[in-house]
Amino acid sequence: MLRAKNACLHLAAGEMDYIRFGRGGKPLLMLPGVGDGLKTVRGMALPFALLYRKLAKDFTVYVFSRRRNLPVHFTTREMAEDLNEAMAVLGLKSAAVVGVSQGGMIAQWLAIDHPERVGKLVLTVTLSRPNDTAREVIARWSEMARRGDYRGILLDTAERSYSETRLKQIRREYAFLGSLGKPKSFARFLTQAESCVTHDAYAQLGRVACPTLVIGGTEDRIVTGAASREIAAQIPGAELFLYEGLSHGLYEEAPDFLSRVAAFCRG
């Protein structure tokens, strides 16, 4: 029923893993955060389809990783160019685009540089330019990556992303996961992490012409809730919704998140 499919695109500059699921007539693109640098979506079609099954009826959902062979100092704007090429290869003229965290940074550039590609835009727990909180967090994760401390990255991310209620449920799970699946190289993660602290689309957000929904958490301990307010103030006509008391992982904690996104993209 979910029509889940794992696939790989062959772009001019390299291979890009992506997954597809759903049977709806409207395409919807999802762009994950910086954790994609540790593990792409390869082989994750069924888990994603089950997790986001509320979207499967109305949309055909595509979830794109960054390409596998990211060069050093590759920027979010360049990642958006890869995404534009991927859409062309798949014949996707336009789609609703949902960017989470770093995925939201890439989505900003896609909407700015290729407005014909983005019919609706949802920017979730992201920023338009670096702030002190994001710099401190990314520097911490980058240092862990240089030490090969995969478990440390997972645990620190969880502690910053979830409410105390959820953390009590998942701390042991994350500690266990940290002992499994360690990437062979952290180079790709470090490139993506650097792109977050060099991302600056703030002055050009006025060029975003499509209907936009900005979603943030008032207690976001990675990019801050203020970053969401800043984006919404810069994009003409943008809607803003802040989840009171939630942090960076609100897309997993808020029970109405998917319904909110689906309603906006359908509308």
CATH number, domain at 63?
Answer: 3.40.50.1820
At residue 172, the pLDDT reads 74
Contact criterion met (CB below 8 Å) for 64 and 18: yes
- Alpha helices, DSSP H, located in 57-199: 76-90, 102-113, 132-147, 150-161, 164-177, 187-198
At residue 117, the pLDDT reads 98
How many Å apart are CA 128 and CA 108, to the nearest integer? Answer: 8
How many Å apart are CA 70 and CA 195, to the nearest integer? Answer: 11
At residue 98, the pLDDT reads 98
pTM of the model: 0.96
At residue 13, the pLDDT reads 94
At residue 184, the pLDDT reads 84
Among candidates 126, 63, 122, 117, which has minimal Cα distance to 261? 122
Contact criterion met (CB below 8 Å) for 107 and 215: no
At residue 178, the pLDDT reads 62
How many Å apart are CA 223 and CA 134, to the nearest integer? Answer: 5
How many domains does one find in the chain? Answer: 1
At residue 258, the pLDDT reads 97
Q: Which residues of 212-222 are buried (b: 16+ CB within 10 A; e: fewer)?
A: bbbbbbbbbbb
Which residues in the chain come in under a pLDDT of 50?
none
Range of the domain at 172: 5-266
